[in-house]
Structure 1
């Protein structure tokens, strides 16, 4: 008998499994042939404490020490620059306040990103408290913790049936029996719930496209900060000597192996290009990922009020990696009956009983 059976081998499921593996036997079932295949493998991988709604910011802050120090740390300095066009003063000011960023003169902004167009960019702000996350090592370390504590992480294990007897019976190529079922299936969490005989919670998968460009103008982009367009209408992030550019769309789509929408991608690249002196000459490759949101835009963590042996670990949106240390600890505390370290009002913003179904 498995104590905690987790459906989903992305950052949500693996981090939850690592925490729960200290309290019982864990089994993680991942449908694909690799861990972190969908949203987790297509993340912008940035940690910025102030990014997200209040409950997410609380999780960011609670998990910051883990990301900075655990296993030698998972963060390296990147920086985040907010860029506003001349005709975007109000939008720029709102984003600057939300992200607690420091305004800088254009000369300083161009010294950090020399392809900014001074004839088009009217405003810039910087946060040096933004970091790249080593997402692959974080995923693998959580999986390793599960295995070291006697648990199992299984890929190519697509769940095809769930039923409730005295305990959960899950079909995934073979039959597994578990006391507690943790639903960490990303874009598919509502489908998993329905398979288990429970109503969904209104999770909406939203597509986000990405293009990889050669380094603009042959510049060394490794020292550039990530750039965010005012209103989050595009972003650009250095990656392995290239530049990733996204239109930052959030278009609702059914759960799927997502792919980039060519028109949306072209429009986003045009918004980015308008503020730069270097044109986009070539797209090396493109892809898309799904970010899944609850109706109120924040995570859903904890036992389902309709069946306490069914646990939600979903709605990570674009915050999965940066919230994973604290979100997984909160979920573990709620499942095993420990008092969470987070404030009760924050916990109330995250548990599933807040949602009308």
Structure 2
């Protein structure tokens, strides 16, 4: 059987796009791991923030908000960007970047929001729209919608190579399976450039980076109404979780080869040190640690669109692929099916030909 579209990767990107096109095309999903969402999707920090990713990503995040809210995937959280005296420029830049957007940002006293915040942290910007996001249910619902539409998912089907003959791709997996499709979609996240190379397509310089997360128990326990706390200069963030726990990150980005990453001791230690320099709480114990892969194009914007010979890019979604999933899938589906893109999103800024040499 020859499919209309073969999507490489069944994480949030591939699953959301398959759900968007599955009822209007014959779709094949090829997932290299034993289960979808093993790498970036399954290791998300699980928040939705309209400022995260910068102004180039904000239209996608904002456009996704209604679908996520209406689907019951978001719960109130709120965010507080904090800074010290030397961070005035970063606070001014944050407010300037999102002036004129629908995002409500306001200067506040951070000590009124964070008990135990150390005296040097005098700057605060409130972002009330920030929310928790139910990543696991969102991903599962996309996969379920994909199956109902008749799409076929193969797990453990890592791409070995693909060649194009007479307008059709002949796809081979590492375990010897063979498939045919008119279009290949590269939704392989950190492996996006690898997939392109195996298809004989010029890679675009998408680089994977390791991000560390730690679940900690603190004294005092995190207040239930604590917002998501973000260092405005990008040195850490933390957010409350059930049972008074915290999820904490040093906001690190270590360039790595695409692989099954794990948290390293030094990054866990850095996260705790930065946290304890911001508040007078003590970390009693580290209950869990993990790391995930974030993959960025050279300009840190996602890549959506057709390249040469029926090869479609749907990659480079950094750490914001989950919070932008509904809008990104709508953009990808429109471009694949020749339909009008969603209102308010300039799809040209995400086109792969911006990297043409």
Deviations 1:206-254 (A, max 9, x none): 111111101x224254321111012111000122332111010112111
The unaligned stretches of length 5 or more in structure 2 are: 99-103
Tell whether 2:19 aligns with 1:15. no
Q: Which residue of 1 is the match for residue 112 of structure 2?
A: 108
Could you say what the CA RMSD is over the residues aligned between the two structures, in angstroms? Answer: 1.7
| Residue 210 in structure 1 maps to residue 213 in structure 2 | yes
CA distance in 2, matches of 1:352, 1:90: 33
CA distance in 2, matches of 1:151, 1:21: 6
Bigger shift: residues 92-101 or 323-332: 92-101
Matched, 1:239 2:241: yes
**In the aligned structure 2, how far is the partner of 1:220 from the partner of 1:261?**
24
Equivalent-residue separation in structure 2 for 1:139 and 1:314 (angstroms): 17
Which 4+ runs in 1 deviate beyond 6 A?
Answer: none
Aligned partner of 2:256 in structure 1 is 253
**Distance in 1 of aligned mates of 2:224 and 2:304:** 36
Aligned position for 1:31: 32
Q: How many Å separate the matches in 2 of 1:175 and 1:57? A: 39
Q: Which runs of 5+ in 1 are unaligned?
A: none
Q: Are the aligned partners of 2:219 and 2:284 in contact in 1 as well (CA < 8 Å)? A: no
What TM-score do you get using the length of structure 2 for normalisation? Answer: 0.92
Which stretch has the larger CA shift, 52-61 or 12-21? 52-61
Contact 2:23–2:150, Cα closer than 8 Å, also in 1: no
Flag the structure with higher helix content. 1
After TM superposition, give the deviation of residue 84 of structure 1 in Å.
1.2
Check the 8 A contact 1:221/1:243 in 2, yes or no: no
SS of equivalent to 1:138: helix
> Counterpart in 2 of 1:125?
125
Length, aligned pairs only: 347
Residue equivalent to 2:101: none
1:90 aligns to 2:89 (yes or no): yes
Q: Distance in 2 between matches of 1:30 and 1:192?
A: 12
Matched, 1:265 2:264: no
The alignment's TM-score, normalised by the length of structure 1, stands at 0.92
Cα distance in 2 for partners of 1:264, 1:310 equals 37
What is the distance in 2 between the residues matched to 1:181 and 1:105? 51
Deviation at 1:288, TM superposition (A): 0.8
Contact 2:5–2:184 (CA under 8 A) maintained in structure 1: yes
